[in-house]
Amino acid sequence: MGKRRRARELALSLLYQLEFHPHDAEEAMKVFWKDHPASPEIKAFAEDLVRGTLEQREVIDQLIASYAQHWRLSRMAVIDRNILRMALYELLWNEETPEKVIINEAIELAKTYGAEESGRFVNGMLDQIKPLRGKVLPTSTGP
């Protein structure tokens, strides 16, 4: 497994955990790394994904809500919602990674950790929102 894929899996796990126990993300990461040791490179990328996703969560959630047809954010599966949040952060605020890689990685995470239809759902949502890449978007004020 590649380092970035492992980092995305760990970031997803952290975001999932923070969904149910929303406390200080920095403290949660310290505790998380004690139980999930990883190389400095993997930790750095995972932490960037978590911090960025949390910082832009308000804008990301508004995007998801506006593009999701017949789905309220609160009714989406927690894992799907967090995969979308993380992928959208990377897609829209971190242009270092190619678009196709981000979308493929999100789909694979959804297939691995989500329900049977999660891969298709994540793919459909990201396909709708990906034209916003490179556009100036508002920024959140943080979690």
Distance CA(10)–CA(36), nearest Å, equals 8
pLDDT digits (tens, 9 = 90+) for 76-96: 999 999 999 999 999 999 989
Mean pLDDT, residues 113-135 taken together: 94
Distance CA 44, CA 46 (A): 6
Q: Please determine, for residue 141, whether its predicted confidence score (pLDDT) is greater than 70.
A: no
State the pLDDT at residue 83: 98
**What's the pLDDT score for residue 56?**
96
Q: Using one digit for the tens of pLDDT, what is the confidence trace for 17-38?
A: 998 887 788 889 999 999 999 9
Distances (CA, A) of 3 to 21, 48, 60, 106, 114: 27, 14, 25, 15, 21
What is the percent of the chain with per-residue pLDDT over 70, rounded to a whole number?
97
pLDDT at position 1 over 80: no
Predicted local confidence at residue 55, as pLDDT = 95
Q: Which CATH class is domain 3-132?
A: mainly alpha
115 C-beta neighbours (distance < 10 Å), count: 12
Judge contact between 18 and 25, C-beta under 8 A.
yes
Distance CA 22, CA 1 (A): 29
Q: Over the chain, what is the mean pLDDT?
A: 92
What is residue 136's predicted lDDT score, i.e. its pLDDT? 81
**Residue-wise pLDDT tens digits, 98-112:** 999 999 999 999 999
Contact 42, 1 (CB under 8 A): no
138's CB contacts (< 8 A; 6+ apart) are: 59
Cα–Cα distance measured from residue 4 to residue 45, given in angstroms and rounded to the nearest whole number: 7
pLDDT, position 122: 96
| Mean pLDDT to the nearest integer, 61-73 | 87
Q: What is the pLDDT, as a whole number, of residue 48?
A: 96
Q: What is the pLDDT of residue 137?
A: 81
Q: Domain residue spans in the chain? A: 3-132
